[in-house]
Structure 1
Amino acid sequence: MKPRFKPYRGPSGGWGSAYSVGNILLRERAPLTGAMALLRQNRPISGFACVSCAWAKPHPSKPLAFCENGAKATAWETTSLRCTPEFFAQHRLSELRNWSDYDLEQQGRLTHPMRWDAGSDRYLPVSWDEAIAEIGAELKALDDPDQAVFYASGRASLEASYLWQLLARRFGTNNLPDSSNMCHESTSVALPESIGVPVGTVTLNDFAKTDGILIFGHNTSSNSPRLLHDLEAARGRDAPILTFNPLRERGLERFTDPQSPTQMLSGHSIVVSTHYHQVAIGGDVAAIAGICKALLALDDEALASGQPSVLDRVFIEQHTQGFEAFEQAVRAYAWADLERRSGLTRGAMEGAAKVYAGCQRVIAIYGMGLTQHRHGVTNIQMLVNLLLMRGNLGKEGAGICPVRGHSNVQGQRTVGITEKVAQVPVERLREQFAFEVPAEDGVSTVDACEGIIAGRIRAFLSLGGNFVRAAPDSHRLEPAWSKLRLTVQIVTKLNRSALVHGEKAYILPCLGRTEMDRQASGLQYHTTEDSTACIRAWQGVVKPAGELLRSEPAIIAALAKATLPDNPLMNWDAWVADYGLIREAIAGSYPEIFHDFNTRMLEPGGFHRPLGASQRQWATDSGRANFVVPKTLAMNDDVEPDPERRDVLNLMTIRSNDQFNTTVYGYNDRFRGVRGTRSVILMHRNDMTRLGLNEGDQVQASTAVDDGVPRSVGPLRVTPHDIPEGCCAAYYPECNALLPLWHHEEKAKVPAAKSIPVTLRRLIAMAQTR
């Protein structure tokens, strides 16, 4: 396909969305199977949970309970294409490593367990018994259990995730990094310090009662499109929506509901954001500080004129700590500094404060635009501070709402996928299974990468995901990966992580979430937890893609039996035969959340885990919600460029409309007007002119940090876009090579992918492509 570039002027959703869904069903050669599956998508109990994002599922569900990206994920998984041993017989891995992510996954569903053969550089079929026995032998041969890493993507169910962490901990390690380490670990650190819970405080019911919404750093139209329905409903009640984002994302501007015949036939679209503020990359904390400063000024005026306080002073006095220090710090900020850091004018921040002050129940939504910075924790805590000032926590229609990425990434943390021992029910696991949980914390994603590069990690087992492609500093990581002794990929499709492998490498193909999982006791339920902490039961509806596929719980149990000493309290065979027994074990480990699990999971709408902050019960050290004073307004001070370096731009990595995480469904990012390529860099026209670049020029992007390691990506096509001056954007994961491993969130170690200083070197000039 020849690349084309044309600004997109239409709304999100609409006929473009409908066409995109139909197109991928045909491309995956699953027009009937995929379409029938979509009718059961997000249908509780008798259907399956979306494989894509973690946004909440309404109850009762809508006639069509899926969005464009959710439909793409289902088509991608229910494809009729198959990646068989015959495919691997035709291609060496050295050849396949030159293929694109899209072309690899487009080979279809994996059908057989495979083992890498060094002599032929090919994957050859292997029996399940052989593969499991050999993996178990390799694990037992390690000098130290901490030489092994048990990674988990956010796809696995609560049942599989619980077994995975049990396998790792009984093996002797807490090395359980997961995809949360790459995105929302900042949330897991920030919120407990501020309000005593590690997740958001709102439910879908709150969205029906809110009268104001703040959105920070989240591309709703591409990452959680079903959320647009809740925003549409809020706009129908005239609730203002204030968006703060460097890019003007089309889904946060206008939306046509594809499930509304009236809107589709009339071409009508709604305005999503009533106010759209294009903050500079890394400027969110300054923008929030400016709103807080303006709010204090409004409060001063109100009190001086005898009007009610703008702040909720009763709430602040009864439920919070640290307001005086926070107020003093905010009042001391100079408007000039706030404007320079945020990229917004004083008037914009004052206007936002006035709109916020006019609302009584406000929800603050945020995504990775806040979390993936050096001080991402501070970003989130500043947003909490803003909510606390007006008592917008612990009441209906208000609260904090982190929008998670992968469909069960929040849930797997709830059942023990964590490297932090303090978050593990150590005593209960000892009582249940008579073993000692290792006392030392395990490795996070960043730690695991450092350990692999240094040679400390010898085995890497991955429960889903595409770790090699998703991780930062890829040009350093990939060569080190081949020095691992053992790599195991439990996956549904071929990806780069299976091709960049260790001395011993295995592919273990598993069932997808859309597929029926039939074990000895019959068809099994799986459970997941969404972004609003709601837990529900689901069942697959599609015939498995191959006779040899095994469920994730079955694969984990087999690995455990081959690796761990016998323990009658860990009946792996019984757990696989009946997942209800796994849920009973989960309830034993986490009774406050999962008591009566097998009954409550079938309740209409599922059940919510208890969240004290939503009831104004604060499980913090102070016993109150805490105002936290930011240490700095510079969100990425470890790479802050010299102000005299006018050639340095601030790069954020982004996802396209045609991908989910590392999975690329196609090359059409229609909302940004980019078709047929992902090798682009989006820039402000003023920066292009200033740097002597023209549209269509090819450039090499290099990290503007001198740490002795050259990092570059290219060629990238220079493409003008509506983005603040001094900022630029390019696609993830292609630009991961630009992200230094050490450039991560200070406390949470989330890679700071939303702020990478780069310089551009012109390669060749090309005629403008239209």
Structure 2
Amino acid sequence: MKEDKSPKGINDKITKEPNAENPYKLLDLKLTKTGKWAAGVPAVISAFSDLIEEKTLVRGTKALFKMNQKGGFDCPSCAWPDPDDDRSPLGEYCENGVKALAEEATTKKITAEFFKQNSVYDLAQLDDYQIGKMGRLTEPMYLPKNGTHYEPISWDNAFTKIAEHLNALDSPDEAAFYTSGRTSNETSFLYQLFAKEFGTNNMPDCSNMCHETSGSALRTTIGIGKGTVTLDDFYDTDVIVIIGQNPGTNAPRMLTALAKGKKNGAKIIAVNPLPEAGLMGFHNPQEINGIIGNGVKLADLFLPVKINGDMALLKALEIILLELENKNPGKVFDYDFIKEKTTGYEAFLKQFDNYNLDELVQLSGVSKEALYEAAEIIAFKKRIIVCWGMGLTQQPNGVEMIREILNILLLKGSIGKPDAGVCPVRGHSNVQGNRTMMIDEKPTNEQLDRLQAYFGFNPPRKHGYDVVRAIKAMKEEKVKLLFCMGGNFLSATSDTTYTASALRKLNLTVNVSTKLNRSHLIHGQEAIILPTLSRSDIDIVNGEAQFITTENSMGVVQSSKGMLKPVSDNLINETQIVCKLAMATLGNKSVVDWQRYHDSYDDVRDAIEKCIPGFENYNEKVRQKGGFHLPNAARDGKFITKDFGDRAPFTLTEIPKNELAPDEYMMASTRTHDQFNTTIYGLDDRYRGVKNERRVIFMNEKDIEQGGFKAGDKVDLFNYDDNIERIAPLFVIVSYQIPEKNTVTYFPETNVLVSVNNVVKDSNMPASKYVKIKVRKHDPKIYERISRL
């Protein structure tokens, strides 16, 4: 490995602690033209170059023909659904799906010899991209207290050591069990079952960082924390609104659905601070028009909203819709729907006596003309779908903004009907299935009663820790062991310095992983890595190849069967890892037949069928090609809520006060096109015109000039929430088409600036899209200040 010559900061040789963040060094930034459309031939070239880089072109290409196909395996990337009917024989996948598969199918291996040659400290000097390119983990590894290198450990000894730590805790609540969105339904169900039988509901998971906001908003208004549309609805709808979401990077296969809807006459409105290529146009590489033609123009209207100006925008639309309704009585609002299906309509209308349209326009950052155009697109249509992503869910008022979206749909009667409703676009490929399988720190009494009735033990009723509360509990030494079923906990969370300090206080950290990541390097006093099979690997149990199941973002449960020979014979699937952990920890005290579930996924599914509604005849239905849809009462027009019976409430919300000091800017973090969540596939953000660099800050041209900067300047970024100085050093300014006083950076490089207390109201998610920062010219002495923090 090459010596890292980057400036040393918070975790330098003096502290002897590994870097909690990416090294503070710049690469060789090159700027190209920003993209006007997504996908096309460049996406194909980029995707297959990753297969070559991972030395798996033949092996990986063979697997691609099975990915997202009926009887094949589910893409390990996003949760966008597969078509129920015909699927492309050429490839039912996108660029990011190929890159995700390349990382799984790689022939590069990390063995015990690798860890012997590379200390934890030395590995931490690499950036996340370099760390992720090392290859697949091949055997269990253990880092002893005060150790410098991971050492090999047998599976039996690993489970024994974890069990000893768990059983030595003063309370089960001193342990926390984290879950990544790639975990299968079978593993997720057993994982939460083990945690509950052990005695805790401390189950932080990736939903706590991406779409907890959606669930919090939807459950209390329409009675279900999921979307209400199917993929087919996109094809026949009249209007699609995409707000706070970038499909070209985050869910590229969504572009195909948008193109089909567009072809059938749908109008598309895009709402986002940045004019993302994937919102503007689509070149389908499987069609002639996408290769040599002009492709498909997607957005009919682009609304460049300010960061957190969405609420003002939504209320402005409502005022204009009310104006149009008054001019066209009964043609804009659906009064029959309002009367039969909703409550609170009169109070909702009354609020607009206190709002001024011109003030809302100014707060939104969008012109009045554009807002009128948007309202007129919506006004006389009923079949309307609204999609959103983390651009909304990671705002401090994200729950209220989603409820405001529902207000518009309730006015229109555009929910609970075919071709209309809400579509939170989920990230990881089974993040929704995890929650369905009761991966939840706040299980309901009804869920716990069913577990108790079937398994015969009384599960804990006290709510557990979500991600943010778990981090604080670790910091306060109330949690002493963290078990991570997948994911990269450190890089995914906020307030990196604080989180790293919390992790280092733990007695033991355990990570079930396929590849090396930074969370293996920022650890407790002891650490264990348990390597596991990937989604595309053949999973043999008792001599037979098995399949697991997942749930996509539209509630379809399907089978997934790997077909690649694993890179090591010393890998164990996640389901058996949970069972072995349970048997080692609980022993004869357990009333659950863990060996039975260890030996049979069908038996796990039988248990799921008895404990979770909607899974009747699970083993039979999931073997049908394409799987089956879970029940969705809201999709059928039944809004069953705790507080409002069978009616969906109109919600009264407030306009946020987004006040900035003269030298402050609002920052939102985002991913590059060469990235999926915390996994860095490459160093090019093709659509935004950024090559070979991640430490950039996108700024408005006027802000650059007024701040005394120029494009290309090196700067340091600061946040002062909670009266604490947080520093992200050494970034390069890139001039971009973005609202004034707004900036955008990449995560996880700027997670350090997001206070652990900067959270979304009600959902307690990190508000990573709403961070007040100061930008100053780079000071080479900044690293000395960081080291004192």
Regarding TM over 0.5, the answer is yes
Contact 1:329-1:629 within 8 A present in 2 as well: no
Letter in 1 for 2:186: E
CA distance in 1, matches of 2:147, 2:493: 28
Partner residue in 1 for 2:331: 309
Task: Quote how far apart the aligned CAs of 1:710 are.
Answer: 1.2
Paired residue for 2:614? 593
Residue among 235, 243, 246 paired with 1:208 = 235
Aligned twin of 2:31: 5
Output the CA distance in 2 between the equivalents of 1:555 and 1:472: 28
Within the candidate set 279, 286, 293, 2:305 is matched to 279
Which has the higher mean CA deviation after the structures are superposed, 549-558 or 428-437? 428-437
2:666 counterpart of 1:641 = no
1:768 corresponds to: none
Q: Is structure 2 residue 736 aligned with structure 1 residue 752? A: no
Offset at residue 603 of structure 1 (A): 1.9
1:30 maps to: 56
Check the 8 A contact 1:416/1:423 in 2, yes or no.
no
Q: Return closer, same or farther for 1:424/1:38 CA change in 2, 3 Å cut-off.
A: farther
Aligned-partner Cα distance in 1 for 2:488–2:471:
14
The aligned amino acid for 1:28 is E
Task: Decide which of 385, 388, 395 is 2:417's aligned counterpart.
Answer: 395
Q: In structure 2, the residue corresponding to 1:421 is in which secondary structure?
A: coil
Are the aligned partners of 1:668 and 1:675 in contact in 2 as well (CA < 8 Å)?
yes
Q: Which runs of 4+ in 1 moved over 6 A?
A: none
Report if aligned partners of 1:293, 1:331 keep a CA contact under 8 Å in 2: no
Deviation at 1:606, TM superposition (A): 1.3
Residue 233 of structure 1 pairs with residue 233 of structure 2: no
SS of 1:493 mapped into structure 2: coil
1:455-488 alpha-carbon deviations (Å, 9 max, x no partner) = 1110000000000111111111112311100100
- The alignment status of 1:181 with 2:208, answered yes or no, reads yes
Cα drift, residue 569 of structure 1: 4.7
CA-CA distance at 1:159 after TM superposition: 0.1
Structure 2 unaligned runs (5+)?
Answer: 1-26, 781-789
1:699 aligned onto 2:715: yes
Question: 1:298 is matched by which residue type in structure 2?
Answer: L
3-state secondary structure, aligned to 1:713: strand
Q: Distance in 1 between matches of 2:81 and 2:312?
A: 30
Q: Which amino acid aligns with 2:622?
A: M
Q: How far, CA to CA, are the matches of 2:429 and 2:155 in structure 1?
A: 28
Q: In structure 2, which of residues 535, 552, 555 is the aligned counterpart of residue 530 of structure 1?
A: 552
- Letter matched to residue 3 of structure 1: L
**Counterpart mapping for 1:524-673 below 5 A:** 524-566=546-588, 569-590=591-612, 592-620=613-641, 621-634=643-656, 640-642=658-660, 645-673=661-689
Q: How does 1:203-602 map to 2 (within 5 A)?
A: 203-264=230-291, 266-303=292-329, 308-422=330-444, 425-520=447-542, 522-566=544-588, 569-590=591-612, 592-602=613-623
Give the aligned partner of residue 721 of structure 1.
736
CA offsets, 1:414-464, max 9 Å, x none?
011000032761111111111111121000001001111111110000000
Partner of 2:703: 687
Distance in 2 between the 1:723 and 1:262 partners?
31
1:597-644 CA deviation, whole Å, 9 max, x = no partner? 00111223211111111111111121244344343211xx5xx434xx
Quick one: distance in 1 between partners of 2:88 and 2:652? 43
Q: Which amino acid aligns with 1:587?
A: E
What is the SS of the residue equivalent to 2:509?
Answer: strand
Q: Secondary structure at the match of 1:122?
A: coil
2:83 corresponds to 1:58: yes
Partner of 1:77: 104
2:320 alignment partner AA? A
Aligned-partner residue type, residue 595 of structure 1: E
SS at match of 2:340: helix
1:81-160 aligned at under 5 Å gives the runs 81-118=108-145, 120-160=147-187
Report the alpha carbon displacement of residue 714 of structure 1 after superposing the two structures with TM: 1.8
Moved more, 132-141 or 10-19: 10-19
Rounded Cα–Cα distance in structure 1 between residues aligned with 2:360 and 2:729: 34
- Report the more deviating stretch, 734-743 or 350-359: 350-359
2:309 maps to a residue whose letter is G
1:51 maps to amino acid:
P
CA distance in 2, matches of 1:330, 1:49: 47
| Alignment-mate amino acid for residue 376 of structure 2 | K
Amino acid in structure 2 at the alignment position of 1:336 = D
Letter in 1 for 2:29: P
Shift of 1:262: 3.9
* 1:622 alignment partner, SS class: coil
Q: 1:490–1:507: 8 Å Cα contact kept in structure 2?
A: yes
Give RMSD over aligned pairs: 1.4
Which secondary structure does the structure 1 equivalent of 2:319 belong to? helix
Provide the C-alpha distance between the structure 2 equivalents of 1:408 and 1:363, rounded to a whole number of angstroms.
22
Q: Residue 735 of structure 1 aligns to which amino acid in structure 2?
A: T
Rate the CA distance shift 1:322–1:364 in 2: closer, same or farther, 3 A.
same
The answer for the alignment partner of 2:726 in structure 1 is 711
Instruction: Work out whether residues 416 and 424 of structure 1, in 8 Å CA contact, stay in contact via their aligned partners in 2.
Output: no
Question: Gapped runs of 5+ residues in structure 1?
Answer: 766-770
- Distance, in Å, in 2 between the alignment partners of 1:65 and 1:34 is 14
Cα separation, 2, equivalents of 1:660 and 1:680: 18
Rounded Cα–Cα distance in structure 2 between residues aligned with 1:710 and 1:698: 19
Q: Give, in angstroms, the shift of residue 379 of structure 1.
A: 0.8
Q: 1:76 to 1:57 in 2, by over 3 A?
A: same
Amino acid at match of 1:42: N
Query: For 2:671 and 2:82, how far apart are their aligned partners in 1?
Result: 23
3-state secondary structure, aligned to 1:558: helix
- Corresponding residue SS for 1:218: coil
Over 3 Å counting, the alpha-carbon distance change for 1:9 and 1:97 in structure 2 is closer
Once the two structures are overlaid, the 10-residue window that deviates more, 338-347 or 197-206, is 338-347
CA distance in 2, matches of 1:9, 1:408: 30
The verdict on how the C-alpha distance between 1:202 and 1:331 changes in structure 2, with shifts beyond 3 A counting, is farther
Distance 1:568 1:682, change over 3 A: closer
- TM-score normalised per structure 1: 0.96
SS of match in other structure, 1:273: coil
Letter in 2 for 1:641: E
Conserved in 2, the CA contact under 8 Å of 1:229 and 1:257?
yes
Contact (CA 8 Å) 2:197, 2:590: kept in 1 or not? no
Give CA deviations for 1:221-254 in whole Å, capped at 9, x if unaligned.
0010000000001111221100111111001101
Query: Aligned pair count?
Result: 751
Alignment-mate amino acid for residue 665 of structure 2: L
Q: Determine if the alignment matches structure 1 residue 730 to structure 2 residue 745.
A: yes
Query: CA-to-partner distance for each residue in 1:133-153, whole Å, 9 max, x for gaps?
Result: 111111000011000000001
